[in-house]
């Protein structure tokens, strides 16, 4: 559990990512297309446990403008800042299934339904990272740019969250640029 200013730092990080997503999605035209969901998705989680649906409130990012909905139709986002995730636990099943990263990714998998998952994570003093389902590369990226570095973890246990792609947030957005432009053209250009 975070103490002190942790929740404030998390909320600030969520706002920053939503603005970055908005500017990226709209080619810099808007910074308000995406925003934090109510209670960071807690409302949808509680209602889901009661067998109720809550449109657009799953995960940590919601669309506040129709232009952003195509991204959220395809991706569910979880945003985390400052956790000390141990990637090496993937190599040790007993530790992996008990790890905080596994639990967060498993929860995101349950909430995402048919959508692709994207856990955007901000380690302290390092670039933002994205953990995403391996189908991200198969379904959205015609070719990964040569300068983009990514890690594909395939543990062989199950599927998500045991298999995932890890890359920087900036590289993730770059990989999706062609798809993003097509989605905007199909949905918002006459």
What is the crossing angle of helices 6-25 and 169-188, to 10°?
Answer: 50
Instruction: Check whether 125 has a pLDDT greater than 90.
Output: no
CB-based contact 87:44 (threshold 8 Å): no
Is it the case that residue 131 has pLDDT exceeding 90?
yes
Q: Is 88:44 a contact under the CB 8 Å cutoff?
A: no
Give the bridge partners for 35, in sequence order. 62
Query: The tokens 């989605």 sit on which residue?
Result: 183
> Residue 161, preceding bond cis, omega within 30 degrees?
yes
pLDDT band per the 50, 70, 90 thresholds, residue 188: low
**Cα dist from 117 to 71, 76, 169, whole Å:** 11, 5, 13
Residue pair 177/184 in contact by the 8 Å Cβ criterion? no
- pLDDT tens by residue, 59-74: 899 999 999 999 999 9
Residue 159 pLDDT greater than 60, yes or no: yes
Q: Which residue has the higher pLDDT, 138 or 54?
A: 138
pLDDT tens for each residue of 72-120 = 999 999 999 988 788 888 888 888 888 888 889 888 888 888 888 999 9
3-class DSSP assignment, residue 133: coil
> For the sheet containing 151-154, what is the strand order?
75-81, 116-122, 129-132, 163-168, 151-154
pLDDT band at 1 (very low <50, low <70, confident <90, very high): very low
Q: 3-class DSSP state for residue 87?
A: helix
């Amino acid at each position: 559990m975070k103490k002190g200013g942790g929740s404030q730092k998390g909320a600030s990080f969520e706002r920053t990512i939503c603005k970055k997503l908005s500017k990226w999605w709209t080619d810099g035209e808007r910074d308000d297309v995406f925003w934090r969901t109510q209670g960071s998705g807690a409302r949808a989680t509680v209602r889901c446990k009661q067998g109720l649906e809550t449109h657009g409130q799953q995960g940590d990012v919601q669309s506040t403008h129709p232009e952003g909905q195509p991204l959220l139709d395809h991706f569910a986002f979880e945003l985390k800042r400052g956790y000390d995730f141990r990637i090496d636990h993937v190599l040790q099943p007993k530790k992996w299934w008990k790890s905080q990263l596994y639990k967060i990714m498993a929860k995101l998998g349950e909430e995402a339904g048919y959508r692709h998952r994207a856990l955007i994570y901000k380690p302290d003093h390092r670039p933002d990272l994205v953990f995403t389902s391996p189908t991200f590369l198969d379904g959205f990226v015609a070719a990964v740019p040569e300068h983009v570095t990514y890690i594909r973890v395939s543990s062989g246990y199950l599927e998500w969250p045991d298999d995932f792609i890890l890359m920087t947030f900036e590289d993730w957005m770059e990989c999706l640029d062609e798809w993003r432009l097509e989605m905007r053209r199909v949905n918002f250009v006459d």
